């Protein structure tokens, strides 16, 4: 069936099977492969995108459920001039990524978190990222990056 949604600011329409998951839709139908798949059980968060500005695990949402919605993927985070989003910058500056596989989902979850809680404590950041698993960093530098981004974005 036909679905139409706005992805990273552009309207797209595609014909999909009802069982197509949002993550497969953005990866396979739109070629936006920055969003990754890491598990089958909504546990790892590698597939996190924004739906209407809020973090969602795109492996646990059907593309047809996203019909008519605003989707943002990691490819849509940089500013129009190509400059990285402050959260992306904070991840680089704090070495908040190693292999980079969880990173897009982590950045999407972290930006959603700061939208709801602009000045989180360390523990609030940790709890806010509880649904995003990383096997490389031990989270130390991810948490630092999110706290730094919160400081930086507050200054703007």
Partner 1 sequence: MTVTDSQTSHGILGTRTLRKEDPKLLSGEAKFTDDLVIPGALYMALLRSTVAHAKIVSIDTEAAKEAPGVVAVYTYEDLKDDWAGPMPCAWPVTPDMKNPTHFPLANGKVNYVGDGVAVVLANSKEAAIDALELINVEYDELDPVLEIEDSAKDERVIHEDLGTNASYKWDLIPNKDGVDEAFAKAAYTVSERYIQQRIVPAAMEPRSIVVVPAPFGGDFTIYNTTQIPHILKIMLALTVGISETKLRVIAPSVGGGFGSKLDVYAEDVLTLALARKLRKPIRWTEERTENALATIHGRGQVQYIELAADENGKVTAVRVNILADMGAYLQLITPGIPLLGAFLYHGVYDVPNYSFSCTGYFTNKTPTDAYRGAGRPEATFAIERAMDALAHKMGVSPIELRRRNFIQKEQFPYSSAAGLVFDSGDYETNLDKAVGLFGIEDILAEKQRRIDSGSTKLLGIGISFFVEMCGLAPSRVLASLNYGAGGWEAATVRILPTSKVQVVTGSAPHGQGHETAWAMIVADRLGIDINDIEVLHSDTAIAPHGLDTYGSRSLSVGGSAVHMATEKVLEKARSIAAHQLEVSEADLDYANGMFTVKGSPDKAFPLAGAAFEAFTAHNLPDGMEPNLEASVTWDPPNFTFPYGSHLALVEVDTETGKVDLLRYLAVDDCGNRVNPLIIEGQVHGGLAQGIAQALFEEAAYDDRGNLITSTLADYLVPSAAEFPFFELDHTVTPSPTNPLGVKGIGEAGAIASPPAIINAVVDALNHLGIEDVEMPASPQRVWRAINAAKKG
Partner 2 sequence: MFPSSFDYVRASSVSEAISILNNEEDAKLIAGGHSLLPLMKLRLANPSKLVDIGRIGDLSYIADRGDHVAIGALTRHAAIESSDVVKASVPMLAYVASLVGDPSVRHRGTLGGSVSHGDGASDLPAAILALDATLVVTSASGVREVAAKDFFKGFLETDLNQGEVLTEIKVPKATGGWSYQKFNRRAQDWAIVGVAAVRNGSTKISLVNMASMPIRAEAVESALSGGASIEEAAALASEGIEPPSDLNASADYRRHLASVLVRRALVEASSN
Contacts with partner 1 by CB under 8 A lie at 17, 19, 27, 31-44, 46, 73-75, 77-78, 84, 88, 91-93, 95, 97-104, 107, 122, 125-127, 129-144
Q: Measured from the CB atom, is 61 or 90 closer to partner 2?
A: 61
Give the 3-state secondary structure of residue 95. Answer: coil
Rounded distance between C-alpha atoms, residue 103 and residue 105, angstroms: 5
Rounded distance between C-alpha atoms, residue 76 and residue 154, angstroms: 21
| Contact present, 117 and 149 (Cβ < 8 Å) | no
- Told to check if 57 binds partner 2 by CB under 8 A, we report yes
State in angstroms the smallest separation of the CB of 85 from partner 2: 18
Q: Measured from the CB atom, is 4 or 42 closer to partner 1?
A: 42
Q: Residue 146: how many CA atoms within 13 Å on its side-chain side?
A: 28
Rounded distance between C-alpha atoms, residue 109 and residue 127, angstroms: 11
How big is the site for partner 2, counted in residues (CB under 8 A)? Answer: 34
Residues lying near partner 2 in the complex (CB under 8 A) are found at 1, 17-21, 24, 40-43, 45, 48, 51, 54-57, 59-62, 64-65, 67, 109, 112-113, 116, 127-128, 130-132
């Amino acid at each position: 069936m036909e679905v139409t949604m706005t992805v990273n600011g552009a309207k797209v329409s595609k014909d999909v099977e009802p069982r197509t998951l949002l993550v497969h839709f953005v990866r396979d139908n739109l070629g936006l492969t920055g969003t990754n798949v890491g598990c089958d059980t909504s546990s790892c968060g590698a597939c996190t995108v924004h739906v209407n500005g809020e973090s969602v695990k795109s492996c646990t949402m059907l593309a047809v459920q996203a019909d008519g919605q605003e989707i943002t993927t990691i490819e849509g985070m940089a500013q129009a001039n190509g400059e990285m989003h402050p959260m992306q910058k904070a991840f680089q500056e704090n070495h908040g990524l190693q292999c980079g596989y969880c990173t897009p989902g982590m950045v999407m979850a972290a930006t959603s978190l700061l939208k709801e809680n602009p000045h989180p404590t360390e523990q609030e950041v940790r709890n806010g990222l509880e649904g995003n698993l990383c096997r490389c960093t031990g989270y130390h530098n991810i948490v630092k990056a999110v706290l730094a981004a919160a400081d930086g974005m507050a200054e703007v």
